[in-house]
Amino acid sequence: MINDLVAKVKDFITVNFEAKIDPLEIEKFYTESALIKEMCVMTVPGVGDAKDSKVLWAVVQPDLNDFRKFASVNLYLAIKESFDNASPSLPFYKRLSGFTITLSDLPHTLFGTLDRQAVKEIYEPRVIAGIVGSLPALTELTAADHLLIESVIGVKILECLKEQSGIERPINLEDSLELDLGIDSLGRIELAVRLERAFNADIKDEAISRAFTVKDLMLRVTNALKEAKASASEKKKVSLGPDFWKKNLQVLPKEEHLGALEFGTGFFAWLLRFSITAIDYWIFRLFFHIKAEGTENVPKEGAYILYPNHTSVLDGPAINACLPRRPVFQLFYFIVIPYFFRPFVKSLLLRNVVKMVRLIPFDYSTHFLESLRSAHLVLQREKGLCFFPEGLRSTTGKVGKFKKGFGILAKETGAKLVPVAIEGAFESWPSTTKHLKCHPIRVRFGKPLLPEDLEKQGLAMGAQNGYDAICVAAREALVELKDRK
Low-confidence ranges of the chain (pLDDT < 70): 1-12, 14-19, 46-52, 70-72, 132-139, 229-239, 337-347, 364-366
Q: Domain range spanning residue 391?
A: 255-483
CA distance to 262, 307, 318, 384, 431, per residue, from 413 (Å)? 20, 15, 26, 12, 32
Domain count, the chain: 3
The overall pTM is greater than 0.85: no
pLDDT at 449: 98
Q: What is the CATH number of the domain that holds 459?
A: 3.40.1130.10
One domain for residues 27 and 149: no
- Residue 138 within a domain: no
CA angle 363, 366, 367 (to 5 degrees): 85
pLDDT at 234: 46
- Residue 245 within a domain: no
| Contact by Cβ (8 Å): 356, 269 | yes
pLDDT at 231: 46
pLDDT at 427: 94
One domain for residues 194 and 336: no
pLDDT at 368: 83
- Residue 163 within a domain: yes
One domain for residues 452 and 367: yes
pLDDT at 333: 95
Q: Which positions ≥6 away from 472 have C-beta within 8 Å?
A: 402, 457, 458, 461, 462, 463
- Residue 136 within a domain: no
One domain for residues 333 and 432: yes
One domain for residues 359 and 448: yes
Distance CA 367, CA 205 (A): 10
Q: Of 103, 129, 155, which residue sits at a domain end? A: 129
One domain for residues 349 and 374: yes
pLDDT at 27: 94
- Residue 151 within a domain: yes
For the stretch 309-347, pLDDT in tens is 999 999 999 999 999 987 888 899 998 765 445 544 556
Of 185, 25, 22, 23, nearest to 119 (Cα)?
Answer: 23
One domain for residues 451 and 419: yes
Q: Which positions ≥6 away from 49 have C-beta within 8 Å?
A: none
| Contact by Cβ (8 Å): 432, 395 | yes
Per the document, the length of the chain is: 485
The Cβ of residue 69 has, within 10 Å, a number of other Cβ atoms equal to 11
Q: What is the CATH number of the domain that holds 92?
A: 3.30.300.30
pLDDT at 467: 96
- Residue 269 within a domain: yes
One domain for residues 351 and 450: yes
One domain for residues 441 and 473: yes
pLDDT at 215: 93
Q: Of 129, 151, 180, which residue sits at a domain end? A: 129
Q: What is the CATH number of the domain that holds 208?
A: 1.10.1200.10
One domain for residues 92 and 199: no
- Residue 137 within a domain: no
One domain for residues 364 and 475: yes
Question: CA neighbours within 13 Å on the CB side: how many for 229?
Answer: 3
Q: Of 240, 269, 294, which residue sits at a domain end? A: 240
One domain for residues 419 and 274: yes
pLDDT at 16: 56
- Residue 193 within a domain: yes
pLDDT at 255: 86
Distance CA 472, CA 470 (A): 6
